[in-house]
Structure 1
């Protein structure tokens, strides 16, 4: 087998492979003999079909089958011989496939790029600094109670946190606009669900009232045709309801999976959950800043084969997330291209940092992560045992720990600036990353 490799770009290779005709002919002959022993043709007894007949009937198909297999196997052997790691499956271009002549074909494929990491010391990271205050805890418990509240109609003027049922119709320059009307819409006043000024205009209204509210759409409104324009809404208030909050008792606590005898115990558990959420949000924000810094400081040519593989994964995730039965391939690749490219590039940069700095997922860190996850369940010991006895599940935790180790390595060299934030601001900063 003859092999030559041509570098056509930083990540593309053209490998020319030649296979002696004798090797192909022997493989074809062997396959035809196997066919002759098993094929059934009218007029011939099983196993007694003349080779000339078998070759005439099946020769072309068998040869094509053999050539495809030889091309695949020869390509794999050539990669081992040249010590090349491809980034994906190749595209084969036959140069000579004539019977009786040496087989010659080209395999075009991509390899992982050589990465020259940028200056990590120039990466800037903003780390939220926040804590769960008593006020934050009070607000959280109030929100939990409102989730379980019963609604009671009232005749008084509406106020914040009331739920109003309204009809509304919006006009710009006297003309109704698409998407600007609804009937029987339930709105929690003060929730920020509507554009600025709308909910404020409804506060103070009673059931049965009709009113007009003038607002201006924000400049950054998602619908560009409405952005920055003044509008008038005609609103009819059907009902005003106030929430009747449930008592803080054991029955209420159990609805949120908390086993507590009194309010103090419930507050303790809720605060623990909030602190876990805050920690995760801060980690997300920091990791995103690290990733952004790496992407900006290092140029990476990303193999299309890896992007295509990631697009397929994102398609499958999308179908599973929405519970659909459709073929993932029906989702346009363009929907996922940017996200896939970012993920692949990030993965390549992380791999290079791991390789250059011999970063590992330390066993004690893996155990800590498993214990951290287990602490959120009712039976932590069972969760720990599950991960310990399931190599695949444990490997996923090791992967997370390894990523965290990479982030920590970058943080040691980057410019990290702490920024004081309120609890909700910090959580929102972490949740908005992706």
Structure 2
């Protein structure tokens, strides 16, 4: 087998492979004979079909199968011979299979880039720890109580956090628009579930009262026909209900599934869960900060084939987020929607792989166990969750990958300029837009 490799541009390589004709011909002869022993044809006894008949009727198809296998196997062997590791799948071109001649074809593929990490001391990161205060715990418990509020009717003006039962009719330019009306609609004031100005406009209304409010739809609104337009809503309030929070007692705590039912123990468990959630969020923020700076610091070409594969994965993830509906064909989702995210993922993966290689990092068993135990800690039966991860290879692989990422971030932070700070729970878990 003869192999020549040409660098065309950037990461792309063109490998021309020449395979002796005997390798193909001998395999074709072997498969023709095997087929003759197995095939059933009218007029011949089983196993007695002449090879010449099989070659005449099936020879072209058999040769095509053999050629496909030879091209694949020869490509793999050529990569090994040339000590080349491809990035992604190849494209086969110019397959020549002339009578009596050698087989020749071209494999076009990309190779992995050379990743030079550069000076990691240029990375500057703020690393935060969390301090869950008593006020944070009080606020969280209040939230839990509000989620289990019972509403009771009152004969007063409505205030924020009241629940109203209302009818409304929306109009634009004096005309009722589709989807802008409802009857017996329940609305919690301050929930932000309606367009800006709607809830504010009905605060202070009482049961039995009617009112027309004026609002403006946001410029960026799901319905383009309404975006940015002024509208009026005719409101009728049927009922005003005041939220009544449950008492913080043993019964309430038991309903939440806490480990212990005393208030003191419950507060300790709430704090523990808040600290766990906050630290996970802060680790994520630190990792993203490190990634952002590494992507600016380290420059190299990214294999297009790897990006395309990542785009396909992101398409599948998008379909799954829609519930895996059969009507959605992932391949039809526009590539442009995922291109930037896919490129970021691939480039990040290559940088992290380089760091891991240089520092001989691996997902240590103890670190994996600690990571899983932290996940399991929020469940009533942690051991069953731990067992699930260790009995599910795919889930375990994901944990190992996450542990590796944390190890890489830790290595980068050793050389980076790090500023340590402490934040409270709500600052820690705040989402960054």
Secondary structure in structure 1 of the residue aligned to 2:190: coil
Question: Does structure 1 residue 244 correspond to structure 2 residue 252?
Answer: no
What residue is the counterpart of 1:82 in the other structure? Answer: 82
Cα distance in 1 for residues equivalent to 2:228 and 2:119:
42
Secondary structure in structure 1 of the residue aligned to 2:379: coil
Question: Does structure 1 residue 264 correspond to structure 2 residue 271?
Answer: no
The answer to whether the 8 Å contact 1:6/1:14 transfers is: yes
Taking a change above 3 Å as real, the CA distance of residues 415 and 170 of structure 1, as seen in their structure-2 partners, is: farther
Greater displacement, 207-216 / 150-159: 207-216
Give the C-alpha shift of residue 105 in structure 1: 0.4
Greater displacement, 112-121 / 153-162: 112-121
1:368 corresponds, among 367, 370, 390, to 370
Map Cα deviations across residues 396-422 of structure 1 (whole Å, 9 max, x no partner): 333221101111222333344566655
What residue is the counterpart of 2:151 in the other structure? Answer: 151
Q: State the TM-score, normalizing by the size of structure 1.
A: 0.87
The answer to whether the 8 Å contact 1:250/1:259 transfers is: no
What residue is the counterpart of 1:53 in the other structure? Answer: 53
Q: State the TM-score, normalizing by the size of structure 2.
A: 0.87
Give the C-alpha shift of residue 126 in structure 1: 4.3
CA-atom RMSD in angstroms:
3.1
Cα distance in 1 for residues equivalent to 2:186 and 2:67:
68
Taking a change above 3 Å as real, the CA distance of residues 342 and 69 of structure 1, as seen in their structure-2 partners, is: same
Cα distance in 1 for residues equivalent to 2:397 and 2:142:
40
What residue is the counterpart of 1:412 in the other structure? Answer: 414
Taking a change above 3 Å as real, the CA distance of residues 78 and 180 of structure 1, as seen in their structure-2 partners, is: same
Map Cα deviations across residues 285-331 of structure 1 (whole Å, 9 max, x no partner): 11111122222333343323223332333344344444435275455
The answer to whether the 8 Å contact 2:130/2:275 transfers is: no
What residue is the counterpart of 1:332 in the other structure? Answer: 333
Cα distance in 1 for residues equivalent to 2:254 and 2:166:
34
Cα distance in 1 for residues equivalent to 2:133 and 2:252:
23
Matched ranges for 1:307-318 at <5 A: 307-318=307-318
Cα distance in 1 for residues equivalent to 2:170 and 2:430:
31
The answer to whether the 8 Å contact 2:278/2:428 transfers is: yes
Cα distance in 1 for residues equivalent to 2:106 and 2:233:
67
Question: Does structure 1 residue 295 correspond to structure 2 residue 307?
Answer: no
Question: Alignment length, in residue pairs?
Answer: 431
The answer to whether the 8 Å contact 2:129/2:279 transfers is: no
Cα distance in 1 for residues equivalent to 2:329 and 2:350:
25
Secondary structure in structure 1 of the residue aligned to 2:430: helix
Cα distance in 1 for residues equivalent to 2:179 and 2:30:
71
Give the C-alpha shift of residue 94 in structure 1: 3.1
What residue is the counterpart of 2:109 in the other structure? Answer: 109
Q: Unmatched 5+ residue regions in structure 2?
A: none
